[in-house]
Amino acid sequence: MANPIKFGTDGWRAIIAQDFTFDNVRICAQATAEYLKESGMADHGLIIGYDTRFASEDFAAAAAEVVAGNGIKAFLCNKPAPTPVVSYGTLARKAGGAIIITASHNPGAWNGFKYKVETGSSAPPEVTSKIESHIARVVDSGQIKHLALPQAAKQGLLEYIDLVPVYLDQLKKLVDLDRLRRAKLKVVIDSMWGAGAGYLKELLSGGAMEVIEIHGERNPAFPEMERPEPIMPNLDPLSAKIKEQKASVGLATDGDADRMGIVDENGVFLTQLQVFALLCLYLLDARGEQGALVKTVTASSMLYRLGEIFNVPVFETPVGFRYIAPVMEKQNALIGGEESGGYGFRGHVLERDGILANLYFLDFMVRTGKSPSELLAYLYSKTGSHHYRRIDVTFPADERKAIIDRVSQNPPRTVGDVSVVKSDTVDGFRFTLADGAWLLIRFSGTEPVLRIYAENGTPARVEEMLEAGKKLAGV
């Protein structure tokens, strides 16, 4: 049987009990332990976190047994923790790295195994390829070391930790929480049944601000949504709650709280590309900071216009924070982000943080006195109007090559009635049009899904481009 463990855009994910099994988690943990020894970071220990999905704490415990069995101290979180909490905790505690049991935004049947390097950032391709080579060896040899957790604790190879206090202290340094709490706003928070439940509510409560949280309990089935991904239609309940409560804004975090979503005061979802550009504008304009902007190929072209206005460089990478983080570090970038709704910031861990991103967006509202829709109008006054949508199409695994062949062998000369002036394959197949609009066709890095993206000046043109993309891919 072929080895099912392959690291994608952000770790390895699979369906629970089908491929995501205790045996396979132990294989990943053994390979990670071997990599840590090889890298010379084993003496720093390994943090192990987990989300609120089905049996995540049990999979994390199994990983901890293997790590301890290899003579590496396992720092096991004492409760479910958002990915940014574990990421920052890895950096703050100077650990050798971190394993996080989470499938982030995937449907409830899935779980996953993420690895963070010692900086708290997503493991870059050169690291995941080494871990995968160790996985292949472990699969062939069947040799996995383990040590029961009670024995590991007695031998000093296991420590239960709470990373929340050090993380909250960090947020208080980055955001004036007292100013936010004093604002007379009504905020609805959708934690999407995930690991981020309670964080924003605790941080924002206690002042003039009224804070309402929905989906703040643990429920691995993720009812009322297709998946805990902070986009429509998953945020329909948040939109309805905003209208019902006449709220000022809706803030959402995904299953492991490394992504965020915004719904405006009218119940209208702001796309991830709009939010990314707004966060850039917040840092450059409202806070008066300077620094490079780092975007993936799927992120908005509005960033290029903001780069021109504020005289800062813009760098582009393939999809995934494992590509963004190294560029952010090298360029001392102000912000890095991607179309998925994940954004990272200078002065913090170089990794996505949906909790901090939501606080920054709220701070933008408070500093300017503008509603989300007014902030978007302010952005468009500088960049021009931009609209975006992505569609996801599930396909049979054996169709992948045929889709690639169709797109690569028949590149369009026009999309609609506008000429294609540039095409590239940085990540998928991207076609840039004469009017600055773009269409991208690429495969998901974690699921058998084809993603088709389009950004244009009007919603109608976006829909035309998406249909053209479906026709081109034959799906």
Q: Are 303 and 344 in contact (CB under 8 A)?
A: no
CA distance 317 to 10: 15
Residue 193 tokens, joined: 């049944």
Strand blocks (E) in 55-174: 74-77, 98-101, 110-116, 158-161
**Average pLDDT for residues 143-150, to the nearest whole number?**
97
Sequence-ordered list of residues with C-beta below 8 angstroms from that of 165, at least 6 positions apart, any chain: none
- At 398 the pLDDT is 86
pLDDT, residue 247, reads 98
CA angle 441, 126, 105 (to 5 degrees): 50
Q: Can you tell me the mean pLDDT for 46-56?
A: 98
| Residue 241 pLDDT | 98
Cα–Cα dist 50/57, whole Å: 6
pLDDT of 187 over the 60 cut: yes
* Nearest of 62, 64, 97, 104 to residue 83 by alpha carbon: 104
Whether the predicted pLDDT of 159 surpasses 80:
yes
Tokens 């994608």 found at: 8
Please give the model's pTM, rounded to 2 decimal places. 0.94
Average pLDDT, integer, range 45-66 = 98
d(CA 337, CA 319): 9
Mean pLDDT value across residues 164-188:
97
Q: Write the CATH number of the domain with boundaries 12-163.
A: 3.40.120.10
76-122 per-position pLDDT tens digit: 999 999 999 999 999 999 999 999 999 999 999 999 999 999 999 99
Residue 466 pLDDT = 95
Is the pLDDT score of 230 beyond 60? yes
Superfamily of the domain at 387-473: Alpha-D-phosphohexomutase, C-terminal domain (3.30.310.50)
Q: Which amino acid is at 231?
A: I
Could you count the other beta carbons within 10 Å of the beta carbon of residue 323? 22
Tokens 């994910």 identify what position? 13
For the segment 114-140, the average pLDDT, to the nearest whole number, is: 95
Across residues 378-392, what is the average pLDDT? 94
Asked if residue 11 lies in contact with residue 116, where contact means CB atoms within 8 angstroms, the answer is no
pLDDT at 4: 84
CATH architecture observed for domain 182-383: 3-Layer(aba) Sandwich (3.40)
Q: Residue 364: pLDDT above 60?
A: yes
Q: Is the pLDDT of residue 2 over 70?
A: no
Give 124's DSSP letter.
P
Q: How far is CA 90 from CA 80, 87, 125, 196, in A?
A: 15, 5, 19, 18
pLDDT at 432 over 80: yes
**So what's the pLDDT on residue 120?**
96
State how beta strands 343-345 and 414-415 pair.
unpaired
Closest CA to 86 of 56, 114, 128: 114
Q: According to CATH, where is 3.40.120.10 located in the chain? A: 12-163, 182-383
Return d(Cα 79, Cα 260) in angstroms, integer: 22
Answer whether residue 1 shows pLDDT above 60.
no
Mean pLDDT of the chain: 95
> Quick check: 253 and 342 in contact, CB under 8 A?
no
Segment (H or E) for 50: strand 46-50
pLDDT tens for residues 396-406?
A: 888 899 999 99
* Percentage of the chain lying above the pLDDT 70 cut: 99
Mean pLDDT of 111-139: 95
Angstrom distances, CA of residue 22 to CA of 25, 101, 127, 202, 315? 5, 12, 23, 34, 40
pLDDT tens, residue by residue, 196-209: 999 999 999 999 99
